[in-house]
Structure 1
Amino acid sequence: MDINKALEDLKKEPGFAENVGMVLVHNGVVRGWSRKDRSEVTAIEVTPDLEKIEEIRADIEAYEGIFRAKAFAHSGRMQPGDDVLFLIVAGDIRENVKAALADFLDRVKAEAVTKKEIFA
């Protein structure tokens, strides 16, 4: 996903200027260490549930003040530094957009993405 192109396209949507005062982006990246014990990770295998991500995306887009929510998840084997997950939330005011992005991220990670860490 080209994040700059995605933002450019979002800004061209009818109603953007009238409804959006903030856009937040999450760019999840493969860490080189495990969250569990900080041991070195050489790769991860990620399996996103795209149907569930779409369901969550639609829920988030229905939040008060949210104009648009977008998601893009990579799948397969990835190395530290690789992009894994992009989330975009555009909406009216900071309080609405921050809360929506936090919920979006937490739900996608908990409900729609599985990953397996591969150690050295």
Structure 2
Amino acid sequence: MANIQEMIEAVKAKVDPAAVGMLACHNGVVRATSRDGKPARALDIDCDRKAWERVLRDMRARPGIAAVEAHLCTGHRQVGDDVLLVVVAGDIRENVFPVLEETVNRLKAEAVKKKEWLAD
């Protein structure tokens, strides 16, 4: 399994340092509560790979973006476990931050499949 630091190093190794002024990261973890506040204990995570690749391709094409990499930790995940890791490299924050947010939102909406296990 990848971790965020390994992803950062891999992105830095493959981009042109002259074109990159920042990297922004997302490290999503399993929460102990659902979005509506109910106690949760785990998530089962799967992925639609075609949708995943489509989202990454779209985000990589944005102006000022040098790289977008993402990793999904699939299977049964416990509270505190990593789930979604995203690294975006680009020229300036006005280009990078929106792409990070949109990448996370689109991957979760279009590609990530999850089943939440609520606490008994």
- Give the structure-2-normalised TM-score: 0.92
Root-mean-square deviation over aligned CA pairs: 1.1
Over the matched positions of the two proteins, sequence identity in percent amounts to: 42
Please give the residue correspondences for 1:20-59 in structure 2 after superposition, counting only pairs within 5 Å: 20-36=20-36, 38-59=37-58
CA contact (8 A) 1:48 1:74 kept: no
CA contact (8 A) 1:53 1:71 kept: no
| Structure 1: segments with no counterpart, 5+ residues | none
Structure 1 counterpart of 2:101, which letter? A
Q: What SS class does the counterpart of residue 53 from structure 1 fall into?
A: helix
Q: What SS class does the counterpart of residue 5 from structure 1 fall into?
A: helix
Output the CA distance in 2 between the equivalents of 1:14 and 1:63.
15
| Structure 2: segments with no counterpart, 5+ residues | none
Output the CA distance in 2 between the equivalents of 1:78 and 1:14.
32
CA 1:74/1:6 → structure 2, altered by over 3 Å: closer, same or farther? same
Output the CA distance in 1 between the equivalents of 2:15 and 2:81.
33
Shift of residue 50, structure 1, vs aligned partner: 2.2
Structure 1 runs of 4+ with >4 Å offset: none
Please give the residue correspondences for 1:4-83 in structure 2 after superposition, counting only pairs within 5 Å: 4-15=5-16, 17-36=17-36, 38-83=37-82
Output the CA distance in 1 between the equivalents of 2:12 and 2:116.
37
- Number of corresponding residues: 118
Shift of residue 5, structure 1, vs aligned partner: 2.1
